[in-house]
Chains A and B, each alone.
Chain A
Amino acid sequence: MEHSVISASNFNAWFGDNHAVKDVSIKIEKNQVIAVMGPSGCGKTTFLRCINRMHELIPGARSEGSLKLYADDVYTMNPIYVRYKIGMVFQRPNPFPNLSIYDNVVAGYKLNGLKMPKAEMDHIVQKSLTSAALWNEVKDSLHQKGTFLSGGQQQRLCIARAIAMEPEVILFDEPTSALDPISTSSIEALFHELKANYTLIIVTHNMQQAARVSDKTAFFYLGELVEFDNTRQMFTAPKDKRTQNYITGRFS
């Protein structure tokens, strides 16, 4: 039986006493775009950060339950290896200000002290920047620092940086909420191209974005996974009353 790329079973997470993620079970299949939506404080970002084990870096944070990458439990694996296989792009673009564009893309290798011949590194840089639809714009200034890039370009640089590690899954934590509409739509177009090679899980505050870009959507509310279904189905005929209320704007 083929394993789902990400599967959670009775997964819980806490911040100290705050039970932020309650008993979540979900199976996510390869090469899909999954949107995770819900009102503020519903646990969607917390759950996302549990997948690549960023949650546990906060003092007082803990989790229980099973969370697997294919057949391996993420919490028994070496967390460094987990983060190689599951990349993350953040809400505010955060390229390293002291590194050039080139070094930013291969930061995952260089900062980890993983050496490779220059030709191979050049190839990875070009491939990643191309996949992130940024190659043409920066190919002549690879060795400059990325501070002159616009917000949207910086975010694509961060995406290239994550892609360079050849992950299985890329997590996105509200990736376009700090960007202007034009940059947002170019990144949304990118999602569609990326899913051929990766599985994308995108937390978004923006219902319309979830409807536009994803194959399936998960709706979180008050820490629980209320509903997880094909996007079209969820937005036209949601099964749960709470989902219905959220979609129709009863609360946000």
Chain B
Amino acid sequence: MDARLKLRNTKSIVFKSIIIFLAFVITLPLIIILLYIIKQGVTQVNWHFLTHIPAPVGETGGGISNALLGSVIIVALSSLIAIPVGILAGIYLSENATTRLAYYAGLCVDVLQGVPSIVVGMVVYFWVVKPLGTFSALSGSVALAIMMLPIVIRSTEQTLKLLPDSLKEAALSLGVPYHRVILKVIVPCGFAGILSGIMLSVARIIGETAPLLFTAFGNPYLSAAITKPMQSLPLLIFNYATSPYDEWHNLAWGASFILLMFVLLLNIFTKLITRKWNIQL
């Protein structure tokens, strides 16, 4: 083999090695971070931890029950707002793709996807917190719902667009009116895709802190009142991690561990479901 060819081949092999190195080396930070969180956090978690609110400064013990309950309530409320709106808008966009409204609404979905989460929090402060006169779980849910919308809408739209027209035609030819065709044939057939979009959007928002900073604000006590400030896992982590107290740091580690496990499980679950149902469809 002539020398020039050898050089070119070597270059190719070296390039491939560099690429493989760079691609895989990036898994190291992730593994380091995950292991560290697990190590710091898993020791914190016990029944007491999950069922008690944080102890005042200086006292040991305490837990994150207020943040757990708060996260559940806020996420549930956000989903309640965002899922119906998102699915219906996604249906409109896939069914009426050529109209002007679809074009501009699609543009708005792209815009919403790119808006920084802190800006959303700021705006909802003026929309809900100011008029209500208080920070509230409700305002936090509104902010998070705005962030869920683009994901739910896009996944609904894309799932439905992939369904064959013959499905709609079959239903229409049986005299089924349009709204039932959509609700009883098209949406059920697209269920897997829509569900995975919903789960992805939930996984996205349970870890969000910035939008809640000036809406839900946080609450050191266990509360289920949605018109009052409420704690959530990421808010607790932020506040306690940046505090100077070691006991609070420990609480933050435990909370980080729980939050991380939630997010990981949700992502894994989503993948399993889409794989299972995509094969069937």
User: Interface residues, chain A, CB within 8 Å of chain B?
Assistant: 52, 54, 57, 59, 79-84, 87-88, 90, 92, 94-98, 107-108, 111-113, 158, 161-162, 165
Contacts and interface: CB of A to CB of B under 8 A. Distances in A.
B122 interface: no
B170 A94 contact: yes
Contacts of A162: 173-174
A88 B184 CA distance: 20
Contacts of B188: 98
A140 to B, nearest CB: 22
B169 A94 contact: yes
A91 to B, nearest CB: 9
A162 B170 CA distance: 10
Interface of B: 98, 164, 166-167, 169-177, 180-181, 184-185, 188-189, 191, 281
Secondary structure at chain B's binding surface: helix, strand, loop or mixed?
helix
B189 A97 contact: yes
Given A94-B170, A97-B189, A108 B180 contact: no
Contacts of B181: 111
B189 A98 contact: yes
Contacts of B170: 90, 94-96, 158, 161
Nearest to B183: A111
B175 A80 contact: yes
A19 B98 CA distance: 23
Nearest to B167: A94
Contacts of B177: 80, 112
Which 4 A-B pairs give the minimum distances between C-beta atoms?
A83-B175, A108-B174, A88-B173, A94-B166
B93 to A, nearest CB: 16
A108 B176 CA distance: 7
Given A83-B172, A90-B173, A94-B169, 12 more contacts: A52-B173, A54-B169, A54-B172, A79-B175, A90-B166, A94-B164, A94-B170, A98-B189, A112-B176, A113-B180, A162-B173, A165-B175
Contacts of A92: 166
A97 B163 CA distance: 11
Contacts of A81: 175
B173 A83 contact: yes
B47 to A, nearest CB: 43
Nearest to A80: B175
Nearest to B180: A111
A95 B185 CA distance: 11
Contacts of B175: 79-84, 108, 112, 165
A111 B176 contact: yes
Residue among A79, A81, A94 with max Cβ neighbours from chain B (10 Å): A94
Contact of B174 (A57, A97, A111): A111
Given A92-B166, A94-B170, A96-B170, A112 B281 contact: no
Contacts of B184: 111
Given A98-B188, A111-B184, A112-B180, A165 B174 contact: yes
Contacts of B176: 80, 108, 111-112
A52 B189 CA distance: 25
A79 B172 CA distance: 10
Nearest to B190: A98
30 contacts: A52-B173, A54-B169, A54-B172, A80-B176, A84-B175, A87-B174, A88-B173, A90-B169, A90-B170, A92-B166, A94-B164, A95-B170, A96-B170, A96-B171, A96-B185, A97-B167, A97-B189, A97-B281, A98-B188, A107-B174, A108-B174, A108-B175, A111-B174, A111-B176, A111-B180, A111-B181, A111-B184, A112-B174, A112-B177, A162-B173
B174 A161 contact: yes
Contacts of A98: 188-189, 191
A214 B171 CA distance: 27
